[in-house]
Structure 1
Amino acid sequence: MTKIILLIRHAENDVMYRRLAGRLPGVHLNRRGQQQALALARMLLGMPVQALYSSPLERAVETAEPLARALGLRIEMRPGLNEVDFGRWQGRSYKQLQRTQLWQVLQATPSRVRFPEGEALSDAQQRVVAELEDLAVEGMIACVTHADVIRLALLHYLNMALDDLHRLVIAPASLSAILVGERGPQVLFFNRTPDLEWPFFPSQGVNSGASPSRS
């Protein structure tokens, strides 16, 4: 039995360049994000996707909506695909977070991080992998979620250490694919975007400052 899991990061929003959105409600796609979501739907038009799942946060659902229309599918909300619970970090600016000791630990050894009043990254990884394995069926499914959620899943399926988190870049509205078959899991590709934009740099990546990868 062959299963293919498509992991889709939500498209762009304005909060991602200033603050850690986390699970804040009311974060919507901006105009560019809406265009990205439409381009992603065009890229996947005609693909044999059997089910479409989404994080319950607005920016993920809004990314999934054009795809649902293109494929004639209903969006099913799955709390297990929700963003990492950043606890008290949620909503704070990246400039504030960079001054904390925990930020330095996050850059060096993510496996040691538990966000204040939130999740440990190791717990978030277990949650996400369990959700994906529960959802996966013979054929293809699509899951719209968040950058860190996708990176944590990819680390698991690539058999990479949690401390390798920053080696993976997941752009807004990007697509990653995991095949689960008789030979075990294989990552077919990751961070593929509908329209290649070059040069692409994670303009404020977690290793270098304020981060769109955590919004």
Structure 2
Amino acid sequence: MATVILVRHGRSSANATGVLAGRLPGVKLDERGHEQAASTAERLATVRLASAVSSPLERCKQTARAITAQQSAQLGLTTERKLTECDYGDWQGRPLKDLAKEPLWKIVQSQPSAAAFPGGESMRAMQDRAVEAVRRHDRLVEEEHGPGAVWLAVSHGDVIKAILADALGTHLDLFQRIQVDPASVSIVRYTEARPYVLGTNTSAGDLSWLTPPPSSRRRGKKTADAVVGGGAGPGSAGSSS
């Protein structure tokens, strides 16, 4: 049972100006975005990451590199195209205030499973490919590093919201209820029984509890059962893992 840390990229120049960047080239972190990425890197420096994967877009790679640079052991970075931004098609590059006047905007807000962007992809297709990628990488990380492994995936707001909705068993039509801020940390542990959402949209707090003791890293798979009553929390004998 590996654990994935989902990090949204820090604030970009497009975020700061209210433009839907989509997959446009040349969109990078602004000054605030670099500060956010550095802060998240400090939080994750206490977590022993087994692997790091990023969307191929530059703002995500910038964020991921800031995080991997703070790891005590050298950690390479791979890109995964299925974690890239939603293809907003004709919408990308346009101001959000103008897009809010489009009829499709209301569908995106209230029934995103039915939303397909002109010249782009549907939100359902975006969720399907992102969830497949995360679950596939999670299996590979566990096979290589053991059930206690923790790994990093850096992606985009809507993509991470879609992954979290799947992990929560929430219909895509309700995913707008999930907030994912720039450089925020969300955590999912996948098991054979079900995913466990350990955190969403966090921007502060100690994360060292995510790294298991060395002696437990390659033991047999831990139970995927939920602890009745909630358990005793991370690191305790009665906690769920």
Q: Secondary structure at the match of 2:53?
A: strand
**For residue 204 of structure 2, what is the aligned residue in structure 1?**
194
* Residue 154 of structure 2 corresponds to residue 155 of structure 1: no
Following TM superposition, where does structure 1 have runs of at least 4 consecutive aligned residues deviating by more than 2 angstroms?
Answer: none
Q: Deviations over 1:106-163 (max 9, x none)?
A: 1221111001111111111110011011111221110000010000001101000111
Query: Separation in 2 of the partners of 1:46 and 1:193?
Result: 15
**For residue 3 of structure 1, what is the aligned residue in structure 2?**
2
Query: Separation in 2 of the partners of 1:162 and 1:184?
Result: 18
User: Of residues 177, 180, 183 in structure 2, which corresponds to 1:170?
Assistant: 180
Superposition map of 1:17-166 within 5 A: 17=16, 18-71=18-71, 72-136=74-138, 137-138=141-142, 139-166=149-176
Query: Separation in 1 of the partners of 2:88 and 2:171?
Result: 21
Shift of 1:182: 4.2
Q: Percent identity?
A: 36
**For residue 15 of structure 1, what is the aligned residue in structure 2?**
14
Query: Separation in 2 of the partners of 1:79 and 1:182?
Result: 26
Shift of 1:46: 2.9
Query: Separation in 2 of the partners of 1:48 and 1:94?
Result: 38
Q: Secondary structure at the match of 1:171?
A: coil
Q: Which runs of 5+ in 2 are unaligned?
A: 143-148, 206-241
Query: Separation in 2 of the partners of 1:36 and 1:79?
Result: 24
TM-score by length of 1: 0.87
Q: Secondary structure at the match of 1:107?
A: helix
Query: Separation in 1 of the partners of 2:52 and 2:12?
Result: 21
| Equivalences, count | 194
CA RMSD of aligned residues (A): 1.2
Q: Secondary structure at the match of 2:3?
A: strand
Shift of 1:14: 2.4
Larger Rg: 2
More strand by share: 1
Q: Secondary structure at the match of 2:70?
A: helix
Query: Separation in 1 of the partners of 2:7 and 2:65?
Result: 12
The AA in structure 1 aligned to 2:176 is H
Query: Separation in 1 of the partners of 2:113 and 2:193?
Result: 28
Q: Which runs of 5+ in 1 are unaligned?
A: 196-215
